[in-house]
């Protein structure tokens, strides 16, 4: 596949008005989500829940550009026997796949992790492409704790793996989503988050260059610069938008087609407000959109609660959140939109 073709896919993933649904929760993570709505974590429930989202016509055709899937889901069939990946592709959204094997303890660095999954990745990418994936995702996790964490060791190890993953994806005709997530856990202020995010992104793009990844054929999935969850003084929407953009402008080359944020545990409406505020501050060198998991799914999950009779209600909740975030990609969202359409 040529770079022009990778670039075309990447641009479609970050097209104005649309964003990415992160539905790639591993079995352990979806259990945590299902526990909150009292739903058993069995394959049938995971399928029914995801099928209801992928069959939400309005959300999928108008506001969702791509869906990140987990290995189980990309091979799974809907209740009527149709492959879920076919339902996604027929809606016009691009199927994607999470290919990392999770964050594992990093030797010599207590409290820090490195994401694994490079062994056998080439072969897995070839298979996933055959099944229908056109993009992939790898998430690296950077913690903040006191002055010594994150360590240089953790940042460089994760940046190196992210870049090697991205190079392998491009070699196999798959657009890599590069996701270095600086966690919101902790009592740090927004400036500390901005400083760590800047340090991380600078190292990521250094490694991306060393591993010969083509910037035009990738999408960045970063955290926003936000206050730690346990910090008493939380930054407001404008400050988050300004500091996030300041960091991104310092680190992300203009050749990258787009940036699709993770929500990271932000309340759903806040994640929308932050994205909207940044897009109101344009023009920007890249498209700015969403690749939210929790901020898109918390409302439909609650509405569904595992009951077939709630499917329509859950689909309405999913459409609403997707539409709000679609507006935010254009800088056209306001709190009024939430009330008018809720
Ligand atoms: C949807 O959650 C993804 C999978 O996490 P696990 O591998 O731990 O199950 C996660 O990578 C997600 O894609 C991103 O973190 C963005 O999700 P949020 O909820 O932060 O927007």
Sign of torsion over alpha carbons 197, 205, 13, 180: negative
Q: Which fold has domain 3-341?
A: TIM Barrel (3.20.20)
Q: Is the pLDDT of residue 337 over 80?
A: yes
pLDDT tens profile 35-49: 999 999 999 999 999
Query: What is the mean predicted confidence (pLDDT) over 22-36?
Result: 98
Radius of gyration of the chain from its Cα atoms, rounded to whole angstroms: 19
User: How do the residues of the chain divide into helix, strand and coil, expressed in percent and rounded to 5?
Assistant: 50, 15, 35
The answer to whether 318 and 53 have CB atoms below 8 angstroms apart is yes
Structure tokens at 71: 């290995």
Amino acid 340: pLDDT: 78
Picking from 243, 1, 231, the residue whose alpha carbon sits closest to that of residue 135 is 1
Catalytic residue (one of 18, 98, 137, 221): 221
Q: Say if residue 62 is exposed, middle or buried (CB neighbours under 10 Å; 0-12, 13-18, 19+).
A: middle
Query: What is the mean predicted confidence (pLDDT) over 299-312?
Result: 98
Å from CA of 122 to ligand 1 middle:
23
Å from CA of 240 to ligand 1 middle:
21
Q: Average pLDDT of the chain?
A: 98
Measured in whole angstroms, the distance separating CA 288 from the mean position of its chain's CA atoms is 12
Ramachandran quadrant class, 264 (left: phi over 0; alpha: psi -120 to 50; beta: rest): left
Atom of ligand 1 minimally distant from the CA of 68: 13
115 secondary structure, DSSP code: E
Report the alpha-carbon distance of residue 231 to residue 263 in Å, rounded.
18
Amino acid 341: pLDDT: 58
Place of tokens 């610069």: 225
pLDDT tens profile 194-225: 999 999 999 999 999 999 999 999 999 999 99
- Indicate the length of the chain as a whole number: 342
Å from CA of 233 to ligand 1 middle:
26
Q: Is the pLDDT of residue 342 over 80?
A: no
Q: Whose CA is nearest to atom 4 of ligand 1?
A: 25
Specify the DSSP element, H or E, that contains 130.
Answer: helix 121-131
Query: What is the mean predicted confidence (pLDDT) over 99-121?
Result: 98
Amino acid 256: pLDDT: 99
Query: What is the mean predicted confidence (pLDDT) over 236-258?
Result: 98
Catalytic residue (one of 51, 112, 179, 198): 179
pLDDT tens profile 157-176: 999 999 999 999 999 999 99
Name, in order, each residue with C-beta under 8 angstroms of 272's C-beta and a sequence gap of 6 or more.
295, 321, 324, 325, 327, 328, 333
Task: Tell me, yes or no, if the pTM score tops 0.85.
Answer: yes
Other beta carbons within 10 Å of 9: 20
Q: Is the pLDDT of residue 280 over 90?
A: yes
Where do the domains of the chain lie?
A: 3-341
pLDDT tens profile 97-107: 999 999 999 99
Alpha-carbon separation of residue 113 from 158, 263, 280 (angstroms): 8, 20, 35
Report the alpha-carbon distance of residue 318 to residue 301 in Å, rounded.
9
Amino acid 146: pLDDT: 87
Specify the DSSP element, H or E, that contains 95.
Answer: strand 94-98
Query: What is the mean predicted confidence (pLDDT) over 19-31?
Result: 98
Ligand 1, pocket-test mutation among 139, 141, 182, 268, most atoms within 8 A of CB:
139
């Amino acid at each position: 596949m040529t770079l022009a073709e990778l670039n075309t896919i990447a641009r479609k993933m970050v097209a104005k008005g649309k964003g990415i649904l992160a539905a790639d929760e591993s079995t352990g993570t979806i259990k945590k989500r299902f526990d909150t709505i009292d739903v058993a974590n069995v394959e049938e429930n995971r399928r029914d829940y995801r099928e209801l989202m992928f069959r939400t016509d309005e959300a999928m055709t108008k506001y969702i550009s791509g869906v990140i899937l987990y290995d189980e889901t990309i091979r799974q069939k809907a209740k009527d026997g149709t492959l879920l990946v076919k339902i996604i592709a027929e809606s016009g959204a691009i199927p994607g796949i999470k290919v990392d094997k999770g964050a594992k303890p990093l030797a010599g660095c207590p409290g820090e992790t490195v994401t694994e999954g490079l062994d056998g990745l080439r072969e897995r990418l070839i298979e996933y492409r055959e099944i229908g994936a056109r993009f992939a995702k790898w998430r690296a996790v950077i913690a903040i704790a006191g002055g010594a964490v994150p360590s240089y060791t953790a940042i460089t190890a994760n940046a190196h793996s992210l870049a090697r993953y991205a190079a392998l994806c491009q070699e196999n005709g798959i657009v890599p989503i590069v996701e270095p997530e600086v966690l919101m856990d902790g009592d740090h202020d927004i400036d500390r988050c901005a400083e760590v995010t800047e340090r991380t992104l600078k190292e990521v793009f250094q490694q991306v260059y060393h591993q010969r990844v083509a910037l035009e054929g990738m999408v960045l999935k970063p955290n926003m610069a936000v206050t730690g969850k346990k910090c008493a003084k939380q930054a407001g929407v404008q400050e988050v938008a300004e500091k996030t953009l300041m960091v991104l402008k310092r680190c992300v080359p203009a050749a990258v087609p787009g940036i699709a944020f993770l929500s990271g545990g932000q309340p759903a409406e806040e994640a929308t407000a932050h994205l909207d505020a940044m897009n109101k501050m344009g023009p920007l060198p890249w498209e700015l959109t969403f690749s939210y998991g929790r901020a898109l799914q918390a409302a439909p999950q609650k509405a569904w609660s595992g009951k077939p009779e709630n499917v329509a209600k859950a689909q309405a909740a999913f459409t609403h959140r997707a539409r709000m975030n679609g507006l935010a990609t254009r800088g056209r969202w306001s709190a009024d939109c939430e009330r008018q359409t809720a």
